[in-house]
A and B are shown apart, each in its own frame.
Chain A
Amino acid sequence: MSSAPTVLELKGITKRFPGVVANDSVDFDLRRGEVHALLGENGAGKSTLMNVLYGLYQPDEGEISVHGKPVSIRSPKDAIDLGIGMVHQHFMLIPVMTVAENIVLATEPKKAGVLLDYEAAVKRAEDIARTFNFSINPRARVQNIGVGQQQRVEILKALYRGADILILDEPTAVLTPQETRELFGILRSLTNEGMSVIFITHKLNEVLEIADRITVLRRGKMIETFSREGATQETLARSMVGREVLLRVEKTPAQPGEKVLEVRDLKVLDDRQLEAVKGVSFDVCAGEIVGLAGVDGNGQSELVDALTGLRKPVDGKVIVSGKDVTGQGARASFDAGEGHIPEDRHRRGLVLDFTLAENIALHDYRKAPDSKFGWLFPGRLTERAKRLIKEFDVRGGGPQTHAEALSGGNQQKVVIAREVGRNPNALVAAQPTRGLDVGAIEFVHQRLVAERDEGKAVLLVSLELDEILSLSDRILVIYEGRIVGEYGSEATDEQLGIAMTGGAGEEAA
């Protein structure tokens, strides 16, 4: 393997953003026919480095050479011309267009000089798919095909443009274990054909399964390059984080009390009016954390919306502390003693242009002591904010700071301060650590356990299996809108993985 020629070399790449050095003199090289993983935490600078390589950012310093020739990549077009293709984490596909249209975009076949030759586009898409042994329907609209299929279209798009260097940015984040295996199969056959692949991820087990070499980035710096043979999960983890990682959160066994959150036969429609939650029932008791595991898009978001009053279920009941709040709206849910950490703190959790005091008052500003007869008392908002900011160790600002000015971790602390500070009976936490760094993740995890120990009922919805396994006292698995399994805290990755892909359907029923 080491005899294979180097197809790509990055030397001393530095990229600065206002206040941040995203890449600090990073070296990286790629050999023909290998899968080279780029490993690092969120914010380590992996995506920045690849965006530099793909011409989306210009490096402040450093050199790039492709096939031994120094090159300057000023735009994605330059990158494409050099044979570099990229599969972005958020797919660069146009949902309302067909697969064929997406594949030929910008290099469209023509007829009569000016007109788009759609039939030729379909044929070209079929040809390229056949060459690499993919099965796709070129006439299908992208929005109507599955995520795994969409990813294949992205890969085909790159191959169609003649890529021999393929960058995959967190490609498994949206895939089921089954689809991940298929992807790995595709990657192996591509490297056998002489393609070279850069595989960006933060998942250790995947790296060890697919990569030939592994380069670790931490805080913008290149730390080390391992070969697969010399690497273990532990060495990689230490290199990635810079210290020993806690794999499990310290906690005592749960002592569940009475039922606080009761869900009965809940059926919920998604935005397209299709049934996304198909009759779900479960309870969360005081003093336990129930983890809801599942691959993204299996009805979790709709379920959480229905639990918190944001979406009216078509059937079923949601009961909080004995009170029926089904379809009564968000205010009723909050008033019944529910707390809700939403999955997207920028879109929902915070009003970024509001001060911290206002954000913390978001649910209760209409009640005393915040206001009386519609008249607001900003001083009281500030007082409470001051107290919670201290209690939850929010750094980077005071009550009058705008939420926008805080870092992601501190923003999440504000959300948690608001939800927990209201002293709810039940707490619904949807992906509470998404996009946070390790320190903030630990804070959130400890806080959730502390809430449990205080006798709150906690429902944790997460796409990260590790998070579910380390926090939950009981684990439910959701698949295609149904709860397909219930496990104790001693469940294994494999058990859950099978259930999450529908493998445990009969067993759980």
Chain B
Amino acid sequence: MSEATPSEPTPEPGLPRITNIFYERIGGALVPLAATALAFLIGGLVVLITGHNPLTAYRAIFNGTGFNWFFPWVTGDERRIAAKDLQETLRVTTPLILTALAVAFAFRAGLFNIGGQGQYWVGFMAALFVGTHLHSLPRPLHVIVGLGAGIVGGMLWGGIAGFLRATSGAHEVITTIMLNWIAIFGGQYLYELGGPLQGTNASLPRSDVIDASAKLWVWWGTFPGLHVGIFIAVAALVVYTLILNRTTLGFGIRAVGFNPDAAAYSGIPVRRNYFLALAIAGGFAGIAGAIDVLGFKYSIDTSDFGSGIAFTGIAVALLGRNKPVGIFFAALLFAGLQVGTSSRNLDPAIFPPELATDLSTMIQALVIFFVAADVLIIYIWRLRRHLKVGRPLKEEPAKT
């Protein structure tokens, strides 16, 4: 009993290390599922309070996701629309999976990468540059070079934060946020009127369109349709799992993430692993940007920089508990939420889409809260079932 208590985690300068609270505390999908249910419930309450009907709103959102394509009784025109919606949902799922991996991978090293957004944009712009400036490449090569440029760009941006963390201890939460804004404003500068990478039309603040040889193949539907990026994302899930569990690199990163002192004691270079983890994480976000630009965006306008896809990726990673299967389904969920609430798919008469977008942000926030506070969910679960789940709550005062 008075067995020396486990030493508390040592504080890092600035901010604490992120703890591995999401791991293995209780097994299974209970917490993510319950967190999602609770978040939608509270979101529904907000809708209700502000004078709308949550049930019809949610149904309208669902029908906008295209998931009804899977229902065999949906036919005819409805099915065609559903297919189009589903293509869009999967198109959004792709970068969500990849930016979630950018969070999850860093997380396994004990780092919280909030910089997916900046890494995404740098990857995006790198691939865009390849697509618009390297003209004489044949198709498969042009695509591959473009994707490669995206990975390198993302790795560079993530690597800066990793380098700073490794050499000066600067906390990645602050550095990655700053790098996000630098990427966004820097990107706007590049393509603004008179900017160095502005396209041939001098009156528009946007880039040129990439060469046809750099575009990803569309395999379902007509443009924009669904491009092959979704397969790259699924492959990335496999790569993520393999790197972590089947390579020495992943072993080192996990050791550093779980216990940097033990890793250092064993001679595992902690700083180098911090750098590598953030650089590789950046690579995942970078290829997300590359896939988006080569897959269906094809060019960029300075007004595009407002999108916050990688922030949703953080929610995806947290909800998916950094596990490949979890990330896949969480990405589908949030992609559906985003597509279902877009102004194209949601009937303003049922629920105003501009509200729905913010509603989905709120739901994401609530999901993060509830996943983070798994103690709360386990507690609610216990009250409901009046039985114990898993092992006893850690260090919970034994009051009754």
Contact = CB atoms under 8 A, between A and B. Distances in A.
Interface of A: 16-18, 20, 22, 42-48, 58, 60, 220, 308-310, 329-334, 340, 342, 344, 346-354, 358, 361-363, 365-366, 371, 374-376, 378, 402, 407-408, 434-435
A313 B252 CA distance: 26
Contacts of A333: 267
Given A42-B2, A354-B255, A435-B3, A342 B265 contact: yes
Given A18-B392, A351-B258, A354-B255, A407 B3 contact: yes
B398 interface: yes
Contacts of B251: 358, 361, 365, 376
Contact of B1 (A20, A308, A344, A371): A20
B392 A349 contact: no
B262 interface: yes
Nearest to B7: A347
Nearest to A371: B248
A415 B263 CA distance: 14
A309 B1 CA distance: 33
B215 interface: no
B8 to A, nearest CB: 9
Interface residues of B, number: 33
B259 A351 contact: yes
Contact of B246 (A308, A346, A376): A376
B245 interface: yes
Interface in B1-29: 1-4, 6-7, 10, 20, 23-24
Contacts of A376: 245-248, 250-251
A17 B7 contact: no
Contacts of B268: 362
B6 A352 contact: yes
A334 B267 CA distance: 8
12 contacts: A18-B398, A20-B1, A22-B1, A309-B267, A310-B264, A329-B267, A352-B259, A353-B24, A353-B258, A362-B266, A365-B251, A371-B248
B201 to A, nearest CB: 48
Nearest to B263: A351
B24 A42 contact: no
Given A344-B7, A348-B261, 12 more contacts: A46-B2, A48-B1, A48-B2, A60-B398, A220-B1, A331-B266, A354-B258, A363-B267, A365-B251, A376-B250, A402-B24, A408-B4
A44 B262 CA distance: 29
A363 B266 contact: yes
A506 B305 CA distance: 74
Contacts, number: 109
A346 B258 contact: no
Given A334-B267, A354-B254, A45 B2 contact: yes
B255 to A, nearest CB: 5
Contact of A17 (B255, B267, B398): B398
B261 A375 contact: no
Contacts of A309: 267
Contact of A43 (B2, B7, B246, B259): B2
A224 B308 CA distance: 69
Contact of B255 (A331, A362, A434): A362
B399 interface: yes
A353 B263 CA distance: 12
B249 interface: yes
Nearest to A333: B267
B246 A17 contact: no
Given A47-B2, A376-B246, A353 B20 contact: yes
A351 B266 CA distance: 10
B3 A349 contact: no
Contacts of B261: 347-348
Interface in B225-281: 245-252, 254-255, 258-259, 261-268
Nearest to B5: A346
Contacts of B2: 42-48
A42 B3 contact: yes
The 7 closest A-B pairs by CB, nearest first: A331-B267, A330-B267, A435-B4, A348-B265, A353-B258, A18-B392, A408-B3
A60 B400 CA distance: 10
Contacts of B392: 18
Contact of B262 (A48, A58, A362, A408): A362
Nearest to B394: A18
A342 B262 CA distance: 9
A330 B264 contact: yes
A24 to B, nearest CB: 12
Contacts of B258: 351-354
A391 to B, nearest CB: 21
A48 B394 CA distance: 17
Contacts of B262: 347-351, 362
A346 B266 contact: no
